[in-house]
Structure 1
Amino acid sequence: MTNPLSLLYRDDHLVAVHKPSGLLVHRSKLAGGEREFLLQRLRNQLGQRVYPVHRLDRPTSGVMIFALDSATAARLGESFAARQVAKRYLAVVRGVGPGQERLDYALREEDGSRPKAEMPALEALTEVKRLDSVELPVSVDRYPTSRYSLMEVRPLTGRRHQIRRHLSRRGYPIIGDAKHGKGNHNRFFAGRLGCPRLLLAAVELSFEHPVEGGWIDISCGLDSGMTALFQRFGWAGHLPLDGARQRQAPLLAST
């Protein structure tokens, strides 16, 4: 039997869940022979229809919001489209990442509908900050030791694979990223450290409630694999916890 999804928040209009890594949100042309989807599992668990309002890539874990009616879905979808939702991610990358930086590399959409050269380059902004780093006495690449960093990531736009592409272009690919990362480091984490997944997790969403007003901050802990890795690397102090809080104060604009 499949374990129930972890519910992070629920009211009469919204529900927030912890999406596991490797689970598709809903059916699509990328689904192939998949039979299990987050949307279906949540619907069955709650016994009612749910409406997605944003997306997470299949290998990314973390907090996802669903509306419980179409009107709320439309309102919250408009907030995401208008960049009125603050998002916070944690990522484990190769190398010692930048202390704090705003990445502004324009990105072409990767929707597969036409050649990339015909797709316009769109504005893409991501704020990154190194929270910690570790050096392992293991030669994974051409150096005698290997260094990795824990990055806090706040995307200010919502382009497809934006975080993965921005960090890779900056020279700090996310561990476990098969397309934009480095295979030797991915294999090392999978085989030696027990982390065969993309090490990217959506750990917080903050937004104005589309019906009741006021602000909601929803946080999401990491799965067991990433938690064990953080503890092994001495990063336990950065582990997020499941939780939700409501407040009246508006969010501060990013600088």
Structure 2
Amino acid sequence: MKTLVAPTDFSDKSVNAVFYAADMACMIQADLALVHVCQVPMTFSDTPAPASTLAGLMSEAEERIDRLAGRILDRTGGQIRTTTVVKEGNVVDEINRYCATIDTFAVVMGAETAGAVERFLLGGRSVAAVKHLVWPVIVVPPGSVFNGIRNIGLACDFRKVTETIPYKEIEMLVNKFQARLHVIHVTAEKGDEYSEEKIEACSWLKDTLDELKPVYHFIGGKDPDKGIRDFIKEHALDLLIVIPKKHSLIHKLFRKSETEKIVLHSPLPVMTIHE
């Protein structure tokens, strides 16, 4: 059975993402795996702390994750099977290793969670985190509640679409949630100014996504970040999909800046799917 993997550091924001994942699992009839990774603490001399210290951290984590699983049981009424996993090591590496042992649907994590996950997701390293998590990742903003997914946005720059658009995953999402797909493209170009490459990309994408009957939104503007944020504010999207790739929209979406980061501070969950 498909499994939603929910890493947690037990902070309020990560627990909220766990609840989001649990409610989603109920809807799509998936299993849920709660994962906590203990990193080896370092002493002031940059040497690993004694094994007894790590053992204590692991024991405490197992107690906390069991209590969290109990809350999930109460919340879902036992509708889903919940597994608890406590690992030691690098957060992203351990999540990847665990996901490889099961039928992973997606990794669901909170934006700005404390500890190691936060260090991977904030700033410039956010791109590295998304690239190193091989499976689809759903980043859940604080306070988000899962109420179904009826409208899915796909941010598209129409570059190398034949190589980068993960059609099967998008099709699965749209069909699983019976959702409407919105393809969003922000550009300062007018239709008669499109390059031959972009025209071919538009044609290919329309043919490929035809069975999903998407709605296309071509938004005028030079700033993709702002264009997509404005679109999110004006439309009732439940999930935004972005595709990580070099020199593309995802780099702008994840960049560290004074402006609102569309992923970490997005008002709705954002899903990244690898090309």
TM-score (normalizing by structure 1): 0.25
Could you say which structure has the higher helix fraction?
2
Structure with higher Rg: it is 2
Q: Which has the higher contact order (CA 8 A, sep 6+)?
A: 2
TM-score under structure 2 normalisation? 0.24
More strand by share: 1
